[in-house]
Structure 1
Amino acid sequence: MTSNKLRIDKWLWCVRIFKSRSIAAEYCRKGRVQCGDQELKPSSQIENGMVITVRKDSIRYSYRICSLPAQRLSATLAKDCFENLTPQEELNRLHEKQTSHFYRSDGIRPTKKERRELEEFLEDF
């Protein structure tokens, strides 16, 4: 089931952090996946015990890699492949973001274009 090294984009997809491998690779190319201070390319090799940071939805998630699966796992099995080290403050920010509503000052929901621009802007944080 496990091997010594695995590509970071494949691992992120296998443990269901990203929905597709191409999305995982895109996040790596944009510099949103790091190991320490070093940005990881999609082809970067990872090993057990490494700690990676993923910037996703303006939240910094931290994971310690526990195992390297050979294929995509179910959600229940995927949880055993990493340890979530994300600080509670970051998780609280995520909860606040999910519960808050992005309304314009006049009380009307943002248009589709405004929402997309807002989401794109927030991705960079």
Structure 2
Amino acid sequence: MIFDIFMRVDKYLWCVRYYKTRNMVTEACKKNHITVNGQVAKASKEVFATDKITLRKDQITYTLTVLDIPQNRVGAKLVDIYRRDETPEEAFAHLELLKLSKDHYRKFGTGRPTKKERRELDELDFYTETDELD
């Protein structure tokens, strides 16, 4: 039985569960969101063990190293056998900060704040008493 020592990048990212479908990976490649060893990759780019893949998804830039090539799509618990995730923790912290900032955003024209929203705005305390005196 001959084992493959390489795989297309779209199939690899689908197999290690970074994307739900191969079509989504192909679209990401067309938008230049995926690079292999620092070069922009097409969906048909071949991936070998020890290659470094960088992909941009959900406002996070993931960096991963290919450890091995799977035969087909693997379960979520087995993904770490085939890749090493080198994404810095600051990227995930930045995403959490973005989510929190969107919670306090209020669209123009939605009317006056409710009592609960007013209390939340007062808790933020944008101004101090010394700023108001100046």
**Would you say same fold, with TM above 0.5?**
yes
Q: Deviations over 1:83-125 (max 9, x none)?
A: 01111221211222344435325595xxxxxxxxxxxxxxxxx
Larger Rg: 2
Aligned to 2:77: 76
Aligned to 2:17: 16
2:106 aligned partner, one-letter code: R
Counterpart Cα distance in 2 of 1:58 and 1:37:
19
Q: When the two structures are aligned, how many residues end up with a matched partner?
A: 108
RMSD value, Cα: 2.1
Confirm or deny that 1:58 pairs with 2:59: yes
In the superposition, the TM-score normalised over structure 2's length comes to 0.72
Residue ranges of structure 2 left out of the alignment (5+ in a row): 111-134
Counterpart Cα distance in 1 of 2:32 and 2:12:
16
In the superposition, the TM-score normalised over structure 1's length comes to 0.77
Residue ranges of structure 1 left out of the alignment (5+ in a row): 109-125
Counterpart Cα distance in 2 of 1:56 and 1:63:
13
Range with bigger deviation, 44-53 or 93-102: 93-102
**Alpha-carbon distance, 1:18 to partner:** 0.4
Where in structure 2 are the equivalents of 1:28-67 lying within 5 Å? Answer: 28-67=29-68
3-state DSSP class of the match of 1:13? Answer: helix
